[in-house]
Amino acid sequence: ILSCSFSTSVMSNAIKNVTVVGAGLMGSGIAQVAAQAGNSVTLVEVNDAALQTGLGRIKTSLQKLTKKMSKEEGEKLLDSTLSRIKGSSKVEDSVGQSDLVIEAIVENMDVKHKLFTAVDKAAPPSAILASNTSSLSITEMASVTNRKNKFVGLHFFNPVPLMKLLEIIKTVDTSDETYNAVEEWGKAIGKVTIVCKDTPGFVVNRLLVPLLAEAMRMYERGDASPRDIDTAMKLGAGYPMGPFELADYVGHDTTKFIIDGWHKKFPENPLFKPVGALNKLVDEGKLGVKTGEGFYNYKKGK
Ligand code: NAI
Beta bridge partners of 163: none
- Cα(146) to ligand 1 centroid in Å equals 24
Nearest ligand 1 atom, CA 112: 18
Q: Structural domain of residue 59, as residue ranges?
A: 17-197
CATH of the domain at 273: 1.10.1040.10
List of residues 6+ apart from 212 with CB closer than 8 A: 243, 246, 247, 250, 255
Query: Is residue 179 domain-shared with residue 236, that is, in the same domain?
Result: no
Q: Is the CB of 132 under 6 A from ligand 1?
A: yes
**Predicted confidence (pLDDT) per residue in 259-300, tens digit:** 999 999 999 999 999 999 999 999 999 999 999 999 999 997
User: Cα 208 to chain center, whole Å?
Assistant: 15
> Does 113 qualify as catalytic in the annotation?
no
Residue 43: per-residue pLDDT: 98
The rounded mean pLDDT for the chain is 94
List of residues 6+ apart from 298 with CB closer than 8 A: 248, 289, 292
Extended strands (E) in 63-127: 85-88, 100-103
Query: Is residue 37 domain-shared with residue 111, that is, in the same domain?
Result: yes
* Residue 301: pLDDT over 90: no
Judge if pTM exceeds 0.95: no
Residue 178: per-residue pLDDT: 98
Percentage of the residues of the chain whose pLDDT score is greater than 70: 95
Nearest ligand 1 atom, CA 135: 34
Query: Is residue 142 domain-shared with residue 263, that is, in the same domain?
Result: no
Whether residue 2 is contained in a domain is answered as no
Query: Is residue 193 domain-shared with residue 227, that is, in the same domain?
Result: no
Total domains, the chain: 2
Residue 302: per-residue pLDDT: 56
> Does 205 qualify as catalytic in the annotation?
yes
Beta bridge partners of 153: 131, 169
Residues 275 and 247: beta-carbon distance below 8 Å:
no
pLDDT band at 10 (very low <50, low <70, confident <90, very high): very low
List of residues 6+ apart from 41 with CB closer than 8 A: 18, 19, 20, 31, 34, 35, 84, 85, 86
Whether residue 4 is contained in a domain is answered as no
Q: Is the CB of 22 under 6 A from ligand 1?
A: yes
Residue 300: per-residue pLDDT: 76
Q: How many CB atoms lie within 10 A of CB 226?
A: 21
Residues 102 and 116: beta-carbon distance below 8 Å:
no
- Cα(103) to ligand 1 centroid in Å equals 8
Whether residue 107 is contained in a domain is answered as yes
* Residue 242: pLDDT over 60: yes
Q: Is the CB of 21 under 6 A from ligand 1?
A: yes
pLDDT band at 54 (very low <50, low <70, confident <90, very high): very high
CB burial string 252-291: b at 16+ within 10 A, e below: bbbbbbbbbbbeeeeeeeebbeebebbeebbeeebbbeeb
Whether residue 51 is contained in a domain is answered as yes
Beta bridge partners of 154: 168
> Does 263 qualify as catalytic in the annotation?
no
* d(C-alpha 161, C-alpha 30), whole Å: 8
List Cα–Cα distances, 101 to 42, 71, 91, 279, in angstroms: 9, 34, 10, 35
Q: Is the CB of 104 under 6 A from ligand 1?
A: yes
Residue 159: cis peptide before it, omega within 30 degrees of 0: yes
Whether residue 7 is contained in a domain is answered as no
Identify the active-site residue in 205, 245, 252, 293.
205
Domain boundary among 197, 214, 248: 197
Identify the active-site residue in 45, 167, 184, 245.
167
Average the pLDDT over 159-168 and give the result: 97
Residues 195 and 177: beta-carbon distance below 8 Å:
no
Domain boundary among 173, 197, 221: 197
Q: Helix %, strand %, coil % for the chain, to 5?
A: 50, 15, 35
List Cα–Cα distances, 175 to 17, 147, 148, 149, 171, in angstroms: 20, 10, 9, 5, 9
Q: Is the CB of 258 under 6 A from ligand 1?
A: no
Residue 14: per-residue pLDDT: 87
Query: Is residue 135 domain-shared with residue 243, that is, in the same domain?
Result: no
Percentage of the residues of the chain whose pLDDT score is greater than 90: 94
Q: Is the CB of 85 under 6 A from ligand 1?
A: no
Question: Interface pTM (ipTM) of the complex?
Answer: 0.99
Query: Is residue 41 domain-shared with residue 98, that is, in the same domain?
Result: yes
* Residue 12: pLDDT over 80: no
Q: Is the CB of 24 under 6 A from ligand 1?
A: yes
CATH of the domain at 54: 3.40.50.720
- Cα(60) to ligand 1 centroid in Å equals 19
* d(C-alpha 49, C-alpha 104), whole Å: 17
Query: Is residue 131 domain-shared with residue 152, that is, in the same domain?
Result: yes
Query: Is residue 22 domain-shared with residue 109, that is, in the same domain?
Result: yes
Domain boundary among 177, 197, 217: 197
With CA atoms as reference, report the closest residue to 22 among 54, 59, 52. Answer: 54
Query: Is residue 70 domain-shared with residue 165, that is, in the same domain?
Result: yes
Helices (H) and strands (E) in the chain, counts: 11, 8
> Does 132 qualify as catalytic in the annotation?
no
Ligand 1 pocket test, pick from 106, 196, 256 with the greatest ligand atom count within 8 Å of Cβ, gives 106
**Predicted confidence (pLDDT) per residue in 247-268, tens digit:** 999 999 999 999 999 999 999 9
Query: Is residue 56 domain-shared with residue 106, that is, in the same domain?
Result: yes
Q: Is the CB of 25 under 6 A from ligand 1?
A: yes
Nearest ligand 1 atom, CA 107: 32
Query: Is residue 144 domain-shared with residue 224, that is, in the same domain?
Result: no
* Residue 243: pLDDT over 60: yes
Query: Is residue 140 domain-shared with residue 58, that is, in the same domain?
Result: yes
**Predicted confidence (pLDDT) per residue in 63-78, tens digit:** 999 998 999 999 999 9
Whether residue 216 is contained in a domain is answered as yes
- Cα(2) to ligand 1 centroid in Å equals 30
* Residue 85: pLDDT over 90: yes
* d(C-alpha 210, C-alpha 263), whole Å: 12
Whether residue 144 is contained in a domain is answered as yes
Whether residue 8 is contained in a domain is answered as no
